[in-house]
């Protein structure tokens, strides 16, 4: 073993444990084929591909290769209603995958995360976690269940639309699920806290605080190289050097609709504009009927519409005001949620009323060109909600009406600011990933020595 190989094996990136691809179909685009081949050779990998870039077919081809290699079934875990989407895509591309709810292991099996406890990891040779970024939203018990299940399976693939590059907790959660560094080890290896107390990370309700955790000296580039060792990310095929001219997103038109508050807050004599978060919540409660009426007026047309709400009461009012709307609520059974979410995709309902945390991940609604949105300060919710329609394959623009109160008038500007910041951070992530391909050629530990010309 030479010194270069010795150093490579000591590095965090030396973890390949896969195999050469056994089957590559013609229906994959060139960039999709490259990603699937890399993920198979890696064995345990993550693909962070933006909405509409074909994570579904890539996951299906990966699963088919693992099934052929191991001779064992492969399980695909997906959010609610996305399971049926996998079945439809499998039929489209000639790959048979069965939607299973009760724990039976078919050759290619797809089920919801909520039904994982019915299955045994011993039955499977590989697992695909679609929308793996949702792991961070699960409670501790569910997240541990998924991570322990994956730890007993040799081949693993995590797919999601590009996670925020500065969300280190999310990257640590995904790394742990794939069998690399645990979340805690990742932070201890690359980061330090301002009080040098690692336990401060685990204070209730304070999982990540940028003021407490920051990169160790000279650790930023090694951190991204480590991420590059098990993940690939792209928002366009051009990010990986492929032709991206056919993957240009349609126009996004955002309009802000401001509703005036006509009643004073509790304990106040006069009407005033909300300034604090507490006052904004009061203002939203007071204007609930007016805001819902504005939404009902905006969806009075024949085209499909997605109506995103934040409170259960908002959803109930909207379902009553909009005659041809169907509501997906948290109190519904998983079967009812799945039936209605899938039904909207199939055109059975014209208007879908839903909370972002229920239906904003993984679903393809390219047929819908109009959204109404009651905003929160969560950029991720807004981004994921809009990207159900604003994705490759959508024909025509996507219109988003953001209904706010006077006190929330700055929310749209705040979301746009966060969008610009996310774009900047993701551009930096792409740059680090492209640079990672040259790590070995840049860092030579020995250099050929020649005598000076004057000797």
pLDDT digits (tens, 9 = 90+) for 58-85: 999 999 999 999 999 999 999 887 888 8
- Res 207 pLDDT > 60: no
Apex CA 31: angle with CA 92 and CA 47, to 5°? 85
Task: Write out pLDDT tens, residues 9-23.
Answer: 655 555 568 999 999
Write down the pLDDT at residue 436: 60
User: Could you check whether 3-245 and 252-416 share the same CATH topology?
Assistant: yes
pTM given for the model:
0.80
The residue among 367 and 273 whose pLDDT is bigger is 367
CATH number of 3-245: 3.40.50.10810
Per the CB < 8 A criterion, the answer to whether 107 and 67 are in contact is yes
More confident residue, 166 or 139: 139
d(C-alpha 363, C-alpha 372), whole Å: 17
- What is the CATH T-level fold of the domain 252-416, as seen in this structure? Rossmann fold (3.40.50)
pLDDT tens column, 163-190: 654 466 678 889 999 999 888 888 888 8
Residue 205 in this model has a pLDDT that exceeds 60:
no
Structure tokens at 454: 């004057």
What are the extents of the domains in the chain? Answer: 3-245, 252-416
What is the strand order of the sheet 325-328 is part of? 252-259, 398-405, 370-373, 305-308, 351-354, 325-328
In terms of pLDDT, which residue wins out, 7 or 353?
Answer: 353
The answer for 393, left when phi > 0, alpha when psi is -120 to 50, beta otherwise, is left
pLDDT-derived band at 318 (thresholds 50, 70, 90) equals: very high
Using one digit for the tens of pLDDT, what is the confidence trace for 396-451? 999 999 998 877 766 777 777 777 777 776 776 777 777 765 433 334 445 566 76
């Amino acid at each position: 073993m030479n010194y270069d190989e010795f150093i490579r094996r000591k590095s965090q990136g030396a973890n390949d444990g896969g195999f050469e691809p056994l089957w590559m179909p013609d229906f994959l685009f060139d960039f999709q084929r490259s990603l699937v081949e890399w993920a198979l050779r890696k064995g345990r990998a993550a693909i962070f591909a933006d909405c509409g870039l074909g994570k579904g077919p890539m996951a299906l081809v990966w699963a088919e290769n693992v099934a052929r290699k191991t001779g064992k079934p492969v399980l695909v875990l997906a959010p609610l209603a996305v399971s049926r989407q996998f079945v439809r895509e499998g039929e489209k591309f000639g790959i048979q995958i069965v939607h299973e709810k009760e724990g039976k292991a078919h050759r290619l099996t797809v089920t919801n995360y909520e039904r994982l406890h019915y299955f045994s990891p011993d039955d499977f040779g590989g697992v695909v976690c679609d929308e793996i970024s949702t792991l961070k939203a699960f409670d501790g018990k569910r997240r541990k269940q998924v991570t322990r299940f994956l730890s007993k399976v040799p081949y693993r693939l995590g797919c999601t639309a590009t996670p925020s590059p500065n969300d280190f907790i999310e990257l640590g959660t995904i790394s742990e699920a794939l069998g690399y560094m645990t979340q805690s080890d990742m932070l201890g290896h690359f980061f330090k806290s301002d009080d040098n107390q690692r336990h401060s990370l685990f204070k209730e309700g304070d999982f990540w605080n940028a003021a407490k955790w920051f990169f160790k000296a000279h650790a930023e580039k090694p951190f991204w190289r480590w991420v590059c060792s098990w993940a690939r990310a792209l928002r366009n095929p051009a990010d990986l050097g492929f032709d991206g001219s056919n993957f240009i997103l349609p126009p996004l038109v955002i309009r802000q609709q401001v509703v005036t508050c006509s009643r004073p807050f509790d304990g106040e004599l006069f009407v005033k504009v909300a300034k604090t978060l507490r006052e904004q919540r009061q203002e939203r409660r007071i204007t609930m009927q007016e805001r819902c009426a504005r939404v009902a007026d905006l969806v009075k047309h024949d085209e499909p519409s997605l109506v995103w709400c934040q409170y259960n009461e908002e959803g109930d009012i909207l379902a009553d005001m909009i005659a041809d709307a169907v509501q997906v609520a948290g109190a519904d059974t998983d079967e009812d949620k799945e039936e209605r979410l899938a039904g909207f995709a199939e055109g059975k309902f014209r208007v879908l009323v839903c909370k972002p945390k229920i239906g904003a991940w993984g679903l393809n609604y390219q047929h819908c060109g109009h959204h109404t949105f009651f905003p929160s300060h969560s950029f991720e919710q807004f981004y994921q909600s809009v990207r159900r329609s604003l994705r490759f394959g959508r024909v025509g623009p996507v219109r988003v009406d953001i209904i706010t109160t006077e006190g929330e008038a700055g929310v749209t500007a705040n979301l746009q600011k966060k969008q610009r910041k996310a774009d900047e951070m993701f551009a930096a992530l792409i740059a680090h990933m492209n640079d990672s391909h040259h790590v070995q050629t840049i860092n030579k530990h020995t250099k050929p020595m020649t005598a000076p010309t004057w000797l």
